[in-house]
Amino acid sequence: MPTYTVTHSNFKLQTKTKVQIAKGITRVHNLVTGANTYFAQVIFNKTKNNDHYMGGKKVREPQLFLHGQIRSGRSAKIKKKLILDLKNTLIKNSKLNETQIWVYVIDLTPSQMIEYGAILPESGGEAKWFKSLSPMLRRKLKKMESN
């Protein structure tokens, strides 16, 4: 249900660091929202040289951006905890300081999202939604959840 896109600028993220960040984002989303881990996907992008500007000037120092799309329906308190925990995960795993970390979380209406071929449930309706999936897909998702 959440899709997190990590864009890094002016530095290289090693594969090991990407794995740590992806696991950290997945863990935070699961613990804070209660959503199953098999829904969290993390996609990495790197900006090319001369493709990152602020105030019309080329940015030269490392920057890390996290843009998360999550289902709407969560309280402001939960979303605040989510963005702060995500920020801390990025700091811990990237070794950048908080002034180089950017986190944006956008709410999407579940009825306007399809994942695994099915329209998503409202927050809290995951168990009923899961039961409506094919047995083959349920096995696949259970296997992903156990990793």
| Residue range 114-141, pLDDT digits in tens | 988 889 888 888 889 999 999 999 999 8
Is the pLDDT at 10 greater than 90? The verdict is yes
Domain ranges of the chain: 3-146
Kindly report whether the global pTM for this prediction surpasses the value 0.95. Answer: no
Q: Are 123 and 112 in contact (CB under 8 A)?
A: no
Tokens of 81: 């905890």
The fraction of the chain above a pLDDT of 90, given in percent, is: 74
Q: Are 39 and 141 in contact (CB under 8 A)?
A: no
Is the pLDDT at 147 greater than 60? The verdict is no
In CATH, the architecture of 3-146 is 2-Layer Sandwich (3.30)
What pLDDT sits at residue 69? 96
